[in-house]
Amino acid sequence: MTTTTPASKAPTEPPVKRRMPKLSINLRQYGIVAALAVIVILFQILTDGRLLLPGNVNNLIQQNAYVLILAIGMVIVIIAGHIDLSVGSVVAMVGAVAAISMNNWGLPWWGAVLVSLLVGALVGAWQGYWVAFVGIPAFIVTLAGMLIFRGLTLVLLTGGTISGLPAEFTAIGAGWLPSYLGELAGRDVLTLALGILTAVALIVFQLRTRATLARLDLPREPLASMWTKNGIAAIAIVWFAWLLSDYSGTPIILIVLAALILIYNFVLNRTVFGRHVYAMGGNLFAAVMSGVKTKWVNFYIFVNMGVLAGLAGVVSTARAGGAVASAGQNYELDAIAAVFIGGAAVQGGVGTVVGAVVGGLVMGVLNMGLSILSVDAAWQMTIKGLVLLLAVAFDIFNKRRAGGR
């Protein structure tokens, strides 16, 4: 921005009334991203710059991958107007199954992953059956599931733990992509290349979308706003890669996460299935009367949640290096909190994958920042609870100020 005559220019801008509704919706999205930025900066200052040390940034991803994966499944569940309290127990049970499949049945690492996802899908189908076809509220079904699957985990592990998992398996949660492109001044070139590539891809994609909108004469975001937003995002991505390259390179789980975010963002925004999820959350009766097969959509929502819980089970077991009966405790609460911090509505119908992921990162940065500051675990929990409450309160306050008629 230049410093010449800023005041004289503003009034001559044509009004953009037509685009107002679209922008105000987006503002909510920016709000949560801005909140994340504020929290990062705050802790960066409080920890004298230790928050964003390369090792910590790496851990932020690897430690929180499970929440982000669960939050992606949970946001769909919540948009549809349900809840899933069982995912923590499912994570533990799947972890146990994965460990047993490798240590006792001698399955290779990828076999264990497939079995885990399958078990997750079966759990999801079980819960989905009760919710969708019997009509028991998800709160009850998954509360029961929380007990059932925790109990089964204890049965499987007979109270003990299973460790000594193959290195290929633990790499899923705690490993990095190999340095295929070598190092440059001590930095992993592949990571830098991926970072730059992602940033470029983001901008190219945005420009292409814009061009399509222009061709079809559909309303577009103002050019300046688009460049500011995506410019900042691109710089943040490259900087993030810069930090990671100084540590051990690109965490494998980061690639998995990126793929999940892209896929689920697409599913919710562009597919018929995603639209049906929003429609059911917005008005279930209207969805039924519009021919949406609501029972099946509900069923698949839970199958999907099960698969993602299975994946989270793989990731957290891999990261821990073994299966423990107490694994996954309170994970469901972390995921639910992430979704609501990310702007989803308790009544359903509203929420985004990106919001849920950013909400999960807010929780993750809080955890890490408070740990670096050696804040007592009891206080960490208290602070996280308050943040959840404030985030949702802020959201409601915003909505009220926007003035629904």
Partner 1 sequence: MEHSIILRMNNIVKDFNGVKALDGVSLEVTRGQVHGICGENGAGKSTLMKVLSGVYPAGSFDGSIEFEDHEVAYKTINDSEHDGIVIIHQELALSPYLSIAENIFLGNENATRGVIDWNKTNREAALLLARVGLDENPATKILELGVGKQQLVEIAKALSKRVKLLILDEPTAALNDEDSTHLLGLIDHLRTQGITCIIISHKLKEIKRIADTVTVIRDGKTIETIDMAGPDATEAHIIRAMVGRDLNNLFPPREPAVGAEVLRVENWTVHHPVDVARKVVDGASFTVNAGEIVGFAGLMGAGRTELAMSIFGRSYGTNISGQVFKDGTEIQMRTVGEAIEHGFAYATEDRKRYGLNLIGDITVNVSAAALAKLAKYGVIDKHREYKVADSYRQKMNIKAPSVTSITGKLSGGNQQKVVLSKWIFSGPDVLILDEPTRGIDVGAKYEIYGIINELAAQGKAVIVISSELPELIGICDRIYAISEGKLTGEVAKADASQETLMHYMTAGKD
Could you tell me the CA-to-CA distances from 9 to 2, 227, 257 in Å, in that order? Answer: 12, 20, 44
Minimum CB–partner distance for residue 223 and partner 1 (Å)? 19
Select from 49, 219, 231, 385 the one that contacts partner 1 (CB under 8 A).
Answer: 219
> Can you give the length of the chain in residues?
405
Select from 164, 180, 211, 293 the one that contacts partner 1 (CB under 8 A).
Answer: 293
Minimum CB–partner distance for residue 272 and partner 1 (Å)? 5
Residue 210 is a binding residue for partner 1 (CB under 8 A): no
Select from 50, 220, 275, 319 the one that contacts partner 1 (CB under 8 A).
Answer: 275
Residue 26 is a binding residue for partner 1 (CB under 8 A): no
For the CA atoms of the chain, what is the radius of gyration? Answer: 22
Task: Give the binding range for partner 1 (CB under 8 A) out of 75-83, 119-127, 272-280, 308-316.
Answer: 272-280
Q: Which residue has the tokens 């972390």?
A: 334
Q: DSSP string of 89-121?
A: HHHHHHHHHHHHHHHTT---HHHHHHHHHHHHH
Amino acid, res. 234 = A
Residue 218 is a binding residue for partner 1 (CB under 8 A): yes
Select from 282, 322, 372, 383 the one that contacts partner 1 (CB under 8 A).
Answer: 282
Question: How many other C-beta atoms are found inside a 10 Å radius of the C-beta of residue 33?
Answer: 18
How far is 266 from 264, CA to CA, in rounded Å? 5
Helices (H), 129-188: 138-157, 167-174
Minimum CB–partner distance for residue 170 and partner 1 (Å)? 36
Task: Give the binding range for partner 1 (CB under 8 A) out of 5-13, 33-41, 228-236, 280-288.
Answer: 280-288
Task: Give the binding range for partner 1 (CB under 8 A) out of 102-110, 342-350, 366-374, 384-392.
Answer: 342-350
Q: Per-residue x/- marks for partner 1, 376-405, CB under 8 A? A: ---------------------------xxx
Residue 20 is a binding residue for partner 1 (CB under 8 A): yes
Give bridge partners of residue 323 from the DSSP assignment: 162
Minimum CB–partner distance for residue 208 and partner 1 (Å)? 13
* Sign of CA pseudo-dihedral 291, 294, 299, 302: positive
CA torsion 232-237-242-246 (nearest 10°) is: 140
Select from 4, 18, 135, 185 the one that contacts partner 1 (CB under 8 A).
Answer: 18
How far is 253 from 382, CA to CA, in rounded Å? 29
For residue 321, the number of C-alpha atoms closer than 13 Å in the C-beta half-sphere is 5
Residue 273 is a binding residue for partner 1 (CB under 8 A): yes
CA torsion 122-123-128-134 (nearest 10°) is: 100
Q: Which two tokens stand for residue 171?
A: 């790499």
Task: Give the binding range for partner 1 (CB under 8 A) out of 67-75, 111-119, 190-198, 288-296.
Answer: 288-296
Residue 157 is a binding residue for partner 1 (CB under 8 A): no
Residue 290 is a binding residue for partner 1 (CB under 8 A): yes
* Sign of CA pseudo-dihedral 273, 281, 265, 113: negative
Size of the site for partner 1 (CB under 8 A): 37
Task: Give the binding range for partner 1 (CB under 8 A) out of 73-81, 138-146, 185-193, 216-224.
Answer: 216-224
How far is 227 from 322, CA to CA, in rounded Å? 46
Residue 22 is a binding residue for partner 1 (CB under 8 A): yes
How far is 352 from 344, CA to CA, in rounded Å? 7
Residue 31 is a binding residue for partner 1 (CB under 8 A): no
Residue 286 is a binding residue for partner 1 (CB under 8 A): yes
Task: Give the binding range for partner 1 (CB under 8 A) out of 17-25, 72-80, 81-89, 306-314.
Answer: 17-25
Which residues contact partner 1 by CB under 8 A? 17-22, 212-213, 216, 218-219, 269-273, 275-276, 278-279, 282-283, 285-293, 345, 349-350, 403-405
